[in-house]
Amino acid sequence: MTHNIVILAAGRGTRMKSQQPKVMHRLAGRGLLQHVLDAAAALKASRTVVVVGHGAATVEAAFGAPARVFVRQEPQLGTGHAVQQAVPALDHAADTTLILNGDVPLVTAATARALVEACGGKRLALLTMTPADPHGYGRIVRDGQRVLAIVEEKDATPAQRTIGEVYTGMMAAPTKALERWLAALKNDNAQREYYLTDIVAMAVADKVPVVGTPVADETEALGVNSPQQLADLERRLQRRRADALMTAGVRLADPSRLDVRGALRCGQDVEIDVGCVFEGDVDLGDGVTIGPYCVIRDCRIDAGARIEAFSHLEGASVGAGARVGPYARLRPGADLGEDVHVGNFVEIKNSTLAHGAKANHLAYVGDASVGAYVNYGAGSITANYDGANKHRTVIGADAHVGSNCVLVAPVTIGDGATIGAGSVVTYDAPAGQLTVARGKQVTIAGWKRPKKLKATGN
Ligand code: UD1
Ligand code: CA
């Protein structure tokens, strides 16, 4: 059996009060529509068609990929009209067509697949729910178990408004019948719109079985119409992720103060303190501890490493047993070996620090290779940029770079070399020797401090 997927994403999203199209807004770091597209991708549809309208060009540019087709709905005359626009782009041989919403981001692939199966190319399958407040939703009108129709809030009688079961906006329909029903839609209703939901009564009239399946977890059916709802879904999604991490044994100081905006993989005995944000792909090895308020994006942190409070790591790799922070900044290409120490207010970019190297205070290491057990002094920097090009600094194993040095790249410090504090190093420093490059200390004999001039009246 094959199926199409249609994702409705043409609506304006007035209540977001934003210049951005609604489906561009971010949930857990990804656009709302991206969440739906990811769930859809797991279903391997023969065609995935996204209906766009408001901000169409922006949405197409942001979510365009060869695997999907965009169709435009201009003007937006309702959900039925939206699906009509998708019809020419459908695979007509696919027996089922699934309809999802671009602003209902937490639907799972499993739920979507179950809808497709419930349809099976011959039934109209509706996903329903019974929210605490059904206001605003289309009501599922049943006669006993049998679904008869969906009635929109604005068209419902007072008796129908008391119905608690509502339509979530997701359905799966037999493709050929859907095309026929869509062609027969009328807009003689309270909103002068072509309602997709009117096809339910048409299916009943055509004796096509209609099945209404309640969604197992209503979070899957919650839509985003306002910043409040967006923030609410964010918390729900984050809580789900926190629970999954804890189930896997990760110790979170507070599951309500964790934000995972990508994929976070953790080994055993990982501890994460409050307020941390993980973005992109992050791997934490066994026994890693992350202190409070760290931001970690696209990093690999090996077993037993400790990241202390307020550190910011991006595109870095941290070796086993290393210590980073507090207040450290690792930028892309920072590659720390085992037992490396990087302390407060140290910035490292595109550099390797071999086993046991230390840069503990107030330093910058950029475009450098730092050997094993190097001690890189407080306040020292690599001057890696000459205003036009970046150059490398090489520091041999066991070298000691004193405090407040400037290593003017390209430059090489030999193994075991010592660089005196305050040196501006512009030539290579030989291995095993002391190199000092600074003004010599002198004492001026007989020098007197100037005296304060006497005040001259008034
Ligand atoms: C719709 C359903 C309602 C259901 C509710 C669930 C209809 C007529 N009503 O309500 O039964 O309870 O969803 O949230 O279908 N869209 C377009 N083009 C349009 C209009 C809408 O693409 O012309 C898209 C929107 O961007 C959105 C989705 O369709 O993704 C639903 O639209 P929305 O206006 O939120 O739905 P309602 O009409 O309120
Ligand atoms: Ca809605």
Where do runs of H (alpha helix) occur along 404-456? none
Which of 70, 71, 79 has most ligand 1 atoms within 8 Å of CB, for mutation? 79
Q: Does ligand 1 have an atom closer than 6 angstroms to the CB of 215? A: no
Indicate whether residue 196 lines ligand 1 (CB < 6 A).
Answer: yes
The rounded distance, in Å, linking the Cα atoms of 365 and 381 is 6
Delineate the domains of the chain, giving CATH numbers in brackets: 3-221 (3.90.550.10), 248-349 (2.160.10.10), 351-458 (2.160.10.10)
**Which atom of ligand 1 is nearest the CA belonging to 223?**
14
pLDDT digits (tens, 9 = 90+) for 395-445: 999 999 999 999 999 999 999 999 999 999 999 999 999 999 999 999 999
- Residue written as token pair 């930028």: 331
Report the nearest atom of ligand 1 relative to the CA of 12.
Answer: 26
402: which 2 tokens?
A: 């004193």
The per-residue pLDDT for 423 is 98
Amino acid at 278: F
Q: Where are the alpha helices (DSSP H) in 316-406?
A: none
Centre of ligand 2 from the C-alpha of residue 168, in Å: 9
Using the mean position of ligand 1's atoms as its centre, give its distance from the Cα of residue 138 in Å: 10
Amino acid type, 309: A
Contact 271, 255 (CB under 8 A): no
Q: Which of 3, 355, 361, 391 is catalytic?
A: 361
Query: 104 C-alpha vs ligand 2 centroid, how far in Å?
Result: 9
Atom of ligand 1 nearest to the CA of 10: 22
Report the atom number in ligand 1 closest to the C-alpha of 152.
Answer: 11
223 lines ligand 1 (CB under 6 A): yes
* CA 214 to chain CA centroid, nearest Å: 29
The pLDDT assigned to 68 comes to: 85
Cβ neighbours for 253, distance < 8 A, ≥ 6 positions apart: 271, 272, 273, 274, 292
Task: Find out whether 121 and 90 touch, Cβ atoms under 8 Å.
Answer: no
Which tokens is 389 given?
A: 């090009």
Annotated catalytic residue 391: no
Q: 306, 270, 302, 277: which is closest to 291 by C-alpha?
A: 306
What is the number of alpha carbons within 13 Å of residue 68 lying toward its C-beta?
25
Tell me what pLDDT residue 213 has: 94
Task: Specify the pLDDT at position 217.
Answer: 95
Query: Which residue, 400, 362, 363, is CA-closest to 384?
Result: 363
Q: What is the pLDDT of residue 192?
A: 97
Query: What pLDDT score does 65 carry?
Result: 77
Please state the φ and ψ torsions of residue 439, each to the nearest 5 degrees.
-60, 140
pLDDT in tens, 49-89: 999 999 999 999 999 877 789 999 999 999 999 999 999 99
pLDDT of residue 458: 63
* pTM for this model (two decimals): 0.92
Q: Is the CB of 70 under 6 A from ligand 1?
A: no
The reported pLDDT for the residue numbered 67 is 74
How much distance in Å is there from the Cα of 301 to the middle of ligand 1?
A: 44
Q: Is 285 helix (H, G, I), strand (E, B) or coil?
A: coil
The low-confidence residues of the chain, meaning pLDDT below 50, are none
Which ligand is located closest to the Cα atom of residue 229? Answer: 2
In angstroms, the CA 139 to CA 126 distance is 12
